[in-house]
Chain A
Amino acid sequence: MANPVAPWGNAQFDGFAKVTEIGPLGMITLRAKRDVAGLEAAFAALGLTLPDPRRIVIAGDKAAGWMSPDEYLLILPYGAVNDALASLATSLAGQHHLAANVSDARAVFRIEGDKADQVLKKIAPVDIDTLAVGELRRSRAAQVAAAFWKDGQGYTLVCFRSVAGYMMGLLSHSATSGSELV
């Protein structure tokens, strides 16, 4: 089996901020209510921490984000997904939940640089200035759904795979040198 390919070929753009398509990352959508027995243990078994509402907890190459009161996004290395699904099935056996591999359904971008915030300010109806480190925001990026969070020297943005090209174009347009928000 060959390596999985990122939806937009790991494209890059250098403007006043740097835009890079990263991934593919391993991703699992986990639907479960917070009070499901064993949920915390299920996360712990994967080396993850159950996030608070609207937060994402990052631990090395893994992360767990709160998507809704009964939905989490688990991020892991691409090759680790099948084992993680098996682990979840064991941890949550008999509990009402749904875990689905969505690694290939998404495109992931990094937006980096001192002015990375400005790229998002141009596309999302979100008060980026008050977005806390570790806050996961689901919203709209121009005309498509997106989720993003601030970490390190930039932001990570996740959208659907089919619009990876649109997102790359959108982020590149927004990051074009000379269009800084002065």
Chain B
Amino acid sequence: MSTRLSKGGRLIDRAQAVEFSFNGKRLRGFAGDTLAASLLANDQMLMGRSFKYHRARGAVASGAEEPNALVNLGRGAFLEPNQRATTTETFDGLEAQSQNHWPSLEMDIGVVNNALARFLPGGFYYKTFIHPRAAWKHVFEPIIRKAAGLGPAPKEMDGDRYEQAYAFCDVLVAGGGIAGLQAALAAAADGARVMVLEQTPVWGGRAPVDGDVIDGMAADLWVKTAVQALEGMPNVTLRTRCMVAGVYDHGYVLAEDRVADHTPGDGRPKKRLWRIRAKRIVAATGALERPLSFAGNDVPGVMLASAVRDYVVNWAVSPGDRTVIVTNNDDAYRTAIALKEAGLSVPCIVDARAVANGPLPTQARALGIRVETGKGIAKVKGTKRVTGVTLCMQAGEGAGLEDIACDAVAMSGGWSPVVHLWSHCGGKLTWDDAHAMFRPDATRPPISHDGLAMVYPAGAANGALKAAEALVDAALAGASAAWANPIAAAQADMREEAALEPVWIMPQGASYKLRAKMWLDYQNDVKVSDVQLAAREGYESVEHTKRYTTLGMATDQGKLSNINGLAVLAGALNTDIPNVGTTTFRPPYTPVTLGALAGEARGEIFQPLRRSPIHAWNEQANAYFEPVGLWRRPYCFPRGGENHAQAIEREILNTRIGVGMLDASTLGKLIVKGPDAGRFLDMMYTNVMSSLGIGKCRYGLMCNENGFLSDDGVVVRLAEDTWLCHTTTGGADRIHAHMEDWLQCEWWDWQVYVANVTEEYAQIAVAGPKARALLEKLGGMDVSAEALPFMSFAEGTLGGLPVRAYRISFSGELSYELAVPASFGLELWEKLVAAGADLGVMPYGTEAMHIMRAEKGFIMIGDETDGTVIPQDLNLGWAISKKKADYLGKRGQERSYLASADRWTLAGFETLDGSVIPDGAYIIAAGVNANGQGNTQGRVTSTYYSPTLKKGIAMGLIKGGLARAGEVVEFTKLGASPVKARIVDPVFYDKEGAKQNG
């Protein structure tokens, strides 16, 4: 059984017991435990089920690389699926649930997949779920969804707070082991700004567990001294619980800070995402131990040798009473020694190498531990827990030599440097044959904006696995990264270790039956036999094999499985490992919670909501808002029990017969001024703006260089050298940027300035036959037809407020648009509402505006235009100057296709039965195209029920356009017969314009 030892545990505080629950069972641990340590201390070896076969699984590792021990934490709004028990800190009240099992962890129906494993080989999904197609939806997917998968997605909105923060430094050190600390000391010595980030809660990494001696001190003490020294330096920032997730271009680094994961409810954000810009990065990310591939290497109780050592030394937890060690290197002997020193039994060290005579094996033998060289494990006995192992010759085919009873197996296949951060931005790797590992190739680093190396690997991450080498390597890396003078590295006692011997399959000649039980990827259930099958089926590229077998595609991203998988693939392809190469290392290093990535952007501040100065009034008036870009504009103002259609009808009729008000503040407003402003606007607009009289308004069209209509609006001439250009709501920033682009990049010698004053003014459209009467009630300026005729403007006051009144109309009614400084926008609006009470004034929304403009045949950018429409298509030739030699889009419009008589052009449509043509409907033409689809000859662009005319009206583009007026055509209607409509003039209302001109 696994249990808590009575003594030791360098990370736990036995004085501080904590109570937590696992699958509802109340258990106790100590402060300083990880959840995995606490569970093992309670003899809870079984922690989860695998993804595909639902095999029983326990923790195989002690840190971030853990593929098996994934749990759900918390519940309801605080549920977090797929959390690694090996990196979760145990705290009082923690609630954990195992996942991917049904009905229970102990008794799981899905394990039937395990019995069928021989029918679920690599590539199974690709092979099986192809035919018949209908089966996917009704059979395969529902079954897979129920049977597979990890934790459930939370159903409630996340109850925690998250945030992000930016940081800047000269050198970012990722990893707080001895290499990271040494690199930081070197980098900071000359004053560089240094940040040191460590993913676990403790400094020092593996060295204290391995019993290294540094500068004559126990590693723990050296680590403490180094951290104190760094803490004393004002140019150094230290953070634990902060995982460097990814390295991106030009020294951009994302790190996830687990601020309050372990102290929920203390008012701090749960997590914080650091967005760091580092000049250089030191990757002191250590190395990960590799499993060995022997049959049954996934049975709970089989662990990495280093993990077994961690549990014993760090948390005083013994994974088993009797632990067999299996290894191809000397390092694993440290585990045997640590177990023995803790008073536990080590029946045998099984060493695949022919000889093991270094200091560590010698020490183990001296402790009375049996060492069997040249041997391997043929298979592990037990299903939910190891009960023993069968030994065999490593060079053989797996014939059993001897059974050894044990309840834990500690395995070591050597170490792989954590090269992720080196590789994220393109750092290349080299294969180190002596250590059977990929390590960073110093000659091919990832580079930064200056063309120089961006990442410096240090210590074990650079292949310097032994403490003494790691410190020297890290001191150099730290100084190099800071472009600082080198400092002397700390000295660690060197202990000789014999070379490892690569062992990718144990035993070497294992039968298929054994290979089909050798797990490479634990979480995704990928076995040695699956990779070999993929190779036989022609998968030679490692990237293809990965996707075909799902090797390395689990939440651990193959931290334990990739190298072993590559080696097996190389063996099957009869080539070298470096020839096979690695898959791409992509961020994040370990999963980052979506909450941290979203940061503060949720709820009210999910996105910037733009409010007009009149927004608060609109809200109180029960406006139904629609998003227009980031603005929220009132769509309509329902009253009483009205639905939207009723409200819109009322708003339109009231405007047509009385007076209505529209909050038009969102319209873009750009001041264009300078000696060359007229010439500039003549280039920007298709028509002539330089000739506009002072005090006058003119409707203008803007095109892009392609000739397509891009924006429209009323241009006002304020003074000899000054114009005010109105843009659409969505166009304000875009057109401002467009103008600046041409002024800065093409005509930089023209003397023109542009200022965006969109938000300086609230703008209120007052429209309807009684509009003038309403303004006259406020008083202050002459708004008569004589003083202020259509398409002119005047400045003055209304109700004591400073306004500029434009006689422009988008509704077709007598209309004034009143611009007032935004601070007084609400006040003017309220004065108009009050003064207009007896005139029956009502606000109207954007939908009423849309319908009224459609009744008038006015086009709308985004309705009649879609980026492929030129003004000529919309019968707007009158707004295109024939005299001008040039304007943006003129050359584009001269292209043969755009000048063709076959283009679809604007017309109005009236349905014969008065109904409304569906949005997006096409106009049917005879025959079918090459694909057998019905031909089309046009489409609807705006279609509404007109409350004014009491029938459906529409605008659309049709081949031949208005020349076909009077003809009846058919519009498509989904699920119904086509709608018949007559081609008519698109101006449905007040064709002469008597109302707007009045």
Contact = CB atoms under 8 A, between A and B. Distances in A.
Query: Do A and B share a direct contact in the complex (Cβ within 8 angstroms)?
Result: yes
B612 interface: yes
Contact of A162 (B277, B631, B722): B631
Chief secondary structure at chain B's binding surface: mixed
B823 A96 contact: no
A124 B277 CA distance: 12
Contacts of A143: 601, 607-608
A87 interface: no
* Most A Cβ at <10 Å: residue of B164, B613, B671, B753: B753
Given A31-B755, A162-B610, A178-B267, A104 B163 contact: no
B761 A104 contact: yes
B673 to A, nearest CB: 4
A166 B608 contact: yes
A176 B260 CA distance: 15
Given A5-B823, A163-B608, A31 B166 contact: no
Contacts of A31: 673, 753-755
Interface string A80-123: 00000000000000001110111111100000000000100111
Contacts of A24: 823
Nearest to B602: A173
B671 A98 contact: yes
Contacts of A163: 608-611, 630
Nearest to A29: B755
A77 interface: no
B758 interface: yes
Nearest to B755: A100
A126 B611 CA distance: 27
Interface string A112-155: 00000010011111111110000000000011100000000000
A127 B168 contact: yes
A174 B165 CA distance: 9
A90 B675 CA distance: 17
A164 B759 CA distance: 12
A24 B822 CA distance: 11
Contact of B753 (A2, A97, A103): A97
A60 B801 CA distance: 29
Given A142-B600, A174-B163, A102 B268 contact: no
A124 B166 contact: yes
B760 interface: yes
A178 B167 CA distance: 19
Given A104-B761, A122-B600, A173-B600, A142 B605 contact: yes
A2 B673 contact: no
Contacts of A118: 165
Interface centre among B267, B600, B608, B760 (most CB of A within 10 A): B608
Given A29-B755, A178-B266, A104 B760 contact: yes
B757 to A, nearest CB: 6
A47 interface: no
A103 B600 contact: no
A160 interface: yes
A115 to B, nearest CB: 12
A46 interface: no
Contacts of A142: 600-601, 605, 608
A122 B761 contact: no
Given A2-B824, A105-B757, A163-B608, A170 B165 contact: no
A52 interface: no
B257 to A, nearest CB: 9
B600 A170 contact: yes
B595 interface: no
Interface residues of B, number: 50
Contact of A122 (B164, B266, B753): B164
B782 interface: no
A4 B826 CA distance: 10
Interface in B145-165: 161, 163-165
A161 interface: yes
B600 A144 contact: no
A96 to B, nearest CB: 5
B240 to A, nearest CB: 11
Given A31-B755, A98-B671, A98-B753, A176 B161 contact: yes
Interface in B137-186: 161, 163-168
Interface string B786-801: 0000000000000011
Contact of A178 (B268, B605, B822): B268
B674 interface: yes
Contacts of B823: 4-6, 24, 103-104
A82 B627 CA distance: 35
B947 interface: no
B759 A98 contact: no
A6 B826 CA distance: 12
B824 A1 contact: yes
A130 to B, nearest CB: 8
Interface string B667-707: 00001011100000000000000000000000000000000
Interface string B706-736: 0000000000000000100000000000000
Interface in B463-489: none
Contacts of A164: 611
A70 B165 CA distance: 32
A100 B719 CA distance: 14
Contacts of A38: none
Contacts of A102: 755, 757, 760
Contacts of A122: 163-166, 600
A60 B673 CA distance: 31
Interface string B174-204: 0000000000000000000000000000000
Contacts of A125: 166, 275, 277
Contacts of A101: 757, 760, 821
Interface in A63-86: 70
Given A31-B753, A160-B759, A179 B826 contact: no
20 contacts: A24-B823, A31-B754, A98-B754, A100-B760, A103-B760, A104-B759, A104-B822, A104-B823, A121-B166, A122-B165, A122-B166, A123-B600, A125-B275, A126-B166, A128-B166, A164-B611, A166-B609, A174-B600, A177-B267, A178-B269
Given A127-B166, A166-B608, A178-B268, 18 more contacts: A1-B800, A2-B827, A4-B821, A70-B753, A96-B675, A98-B671, A101-B821, A102-B755, A104-B822, A121-B166, A121-B167, A124-B166, A161-B822, A163-B609, A163-B630, A165-B609, A179-B272, A181-B165
